[in-house]
């Protein structure tokens, strides 16, 4: 199992989500950390990966032992441009 670490910004964004969305994002990150499950794709044109979790996206880096969540937010045109 990989260790999940959130940046300060990602932690604040996760806390700001509704309880159901927060649970979905946490479950998706945990499933990926445990056995690589989930709709996870490498980002085009930049380093990082992102899972789809309903209408939310988590941008993260994966070094093989640690998942560093950088951004958590709604899917939209600014999700990828901002981070």
Give me the number of domains the chain comprises: 1
CATH code assigned at 25: 3.30.2310.20
pLDDT recorded at residue 79: 59
Which residues, in sequence order, are CB contacts of 43 under 8 Å at separation 6+?
Answer: 49, 50, 59, 80
Does residue 69 lie in a domain region? yes
Does residue 71 lie in a domain region? yes
Please name which of 51, 58, 56 lies closest in space to residue 76, comparing C-alpha atoms.
Answer: 56
Does residue 80 lie in a domain region? no
pLDDT recorded at residue 45: 86
pLDDT recorded at residue 80: 56
Query: Does the pLDDT of residue 83 top 60, yes or no?
Result: no
Chain segment 30-82, per-residue pLDDT in tens: 999 999 998 899 998 888 999 989 899 999 999 999 999 999 988 875 555 55
Does residue 70 lie in a domain region? yes
Does residue 83 lie in a domain region? no
Does residue 27 lie in a domain region? yes
Domain that holds residue 25: 3-75
SS3 34: helix
């Amino acid at each position: 199992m990989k260790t999940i670490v959130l940046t300060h910004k990602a932690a604040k964004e996760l806390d700001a989500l509704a309880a159901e969305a927060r649970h979905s994002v946490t479950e998706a990150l945990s499933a990926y950390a445990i056995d690589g499950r989930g709709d996870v794709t490498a980002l085009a044109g930049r380093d990082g990966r992102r899972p789809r979790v309903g209408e939310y996206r988590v941008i993260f880096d994966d070094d093989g032992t640690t998942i560093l969540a950088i951004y958590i937010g709604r899917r939209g045109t600014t999700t990828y441009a901002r981070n």
